[in-house]
Structure 1
Amino acid sequence: MNTENPGCLTGAARAVALVVVLPVRLLWDALVWCGRQLWRWILAPVGRALGWLVHHLLVTPLRWLWEWVLVPVGKAVWWVVDLLVVTPLTWLWRYVLGPVLRVVGAALAWAWRVAGEISRAVGRALRWVLRHAIGRPLAWVYRVILAPVGRWLRRYVWEPVATVARAVRAAAREVRTALFGGPR
């Protein structure tokens, strides 16, 4: 495309595009500017103040409660849960379920591949049977019976009928011209 010497249609298209796009772009730039000012002067300071309040009135007391009251209790509870739940489940997964699922997954993958091979073999056999049981006999019937009958019908039935029909149309045209005159 030649951009150095645009044609008049290109110039007109650019002018129309500018007239349509310019107000949208100006509106967009104004909205972006308003959003930045809103963030800078209102939302960010209010967010910082709320963050300070939440940190000093909620997070600091909860952290103290967690570290000095609930953490020792939590450590004891975690030790019991780890000993009675996590360790047996880890052992069960590592030594029982994991190996069994890997074997089952490998068996399913092998069965999927074998089923695909069998499916392709059945498809090839079915295609061969259909070609030899239906396709070849139909081709023979068409080639040996239908095509010669069709050629005979065309030569000895259709062509004489078409010749007679052309002659009748020509005679009817002549009669119409003789009775009613030529085309207007």
Structure 2
Amino acid sequence: MSGDARERVEGAAGTGDAAGGSGGVPPEPSGRSDAPGLSGPPQPPPGPGVVHDPTAYTEYDAGLYPRVPPQGAVRAGAGSGRTGGGSRGTAPRKGPVATGGRWLAQGIAVVFLVPFRLLWELLKLIGRVMVAVLVFFFTRMLRPLATAVHRWILVPAWRLLRDFLWGWVLRYVLWGLVLTPVLAFLLDWVLKPIQRAIERWLWNKLLKPLCRLTLRYVLRPVWAGLCWAGFHFMKWCVVAPLLALWRWVLRPLWRALRAVLVFGWKWATIIVGVLVVVPCRALWRWVLHPVWRAVAAAWRAVVVPPARWTYQRVLRPMNRAVADVVGAVFGR
């Protein structure tokens, strides 16, 4: 702490003591506070040619100053002291002992706390510098280098490995000349015999006895139970109701319907025979048949002889003449 700053602080402290002893209002602290109720020493206004010392109030950050009552409480206490003649509300007067203790606390804070604070600031500065250097190193050097290595080394190497080595060496040489015969030999002489042995053992020792036991003790009883249940179900739920329906409903209805149909057919036959058959037979016998015979006799007497003569005397010779002419012209 410089001498000018100490003089300013002592002058401000003396002014505050004088104000407190005379019942005046102490000046409000101008420093910042980390906890409620804590304040540092009053800061006088800078005069002409006075340089502010940043280390003069470092002790304030450490919280070494006494708790100062609010301004309203100090004023109330000062007023009551003037009227009441020195009651408990009057602010105590600061003497040389308090000033010396404060300077002792300031000295201890400067000696023990300021170096740690400076060391902490130095460590933070070193950390920031290291972070900036690492960020610069990674962003400006490693990233372009990694990009160049990836673009110009790894990608061509991967393409060469994928296209040439995998496409030609592994696929044709290794697979065609080495792996295929080896795998075929293993498949024919190792895996298939093992498979056959396992299948035979499983079938003869496990699956076949298990299937027999399942068929004998599970499937056959279940099938017999299902058959018995199905037979009795069909017998009592389907056949018996159908037999009862046929015996008591359908067969009587069928007999009645058959009797009605037979009786109706007989009466219809009698009615049709009397009303239709007998008149039609009489009409055919006594009217239509004689008329048909007369028409047939007239047809045979009037139409048949002229048609026969025309065919024999006219059409047949004409047909023969036309056939001879066509044969002579066109040939047979």
TM-score, normalised by the number of residues in structure 2: 0.25
- Structure ranking higher in helix proportion: 1
TM-score when normalising by structure 1: 0.42
More RCO (CA 8 Å, sep 6+): 2
Q: Max radius of gyration: which structure?
A: 2
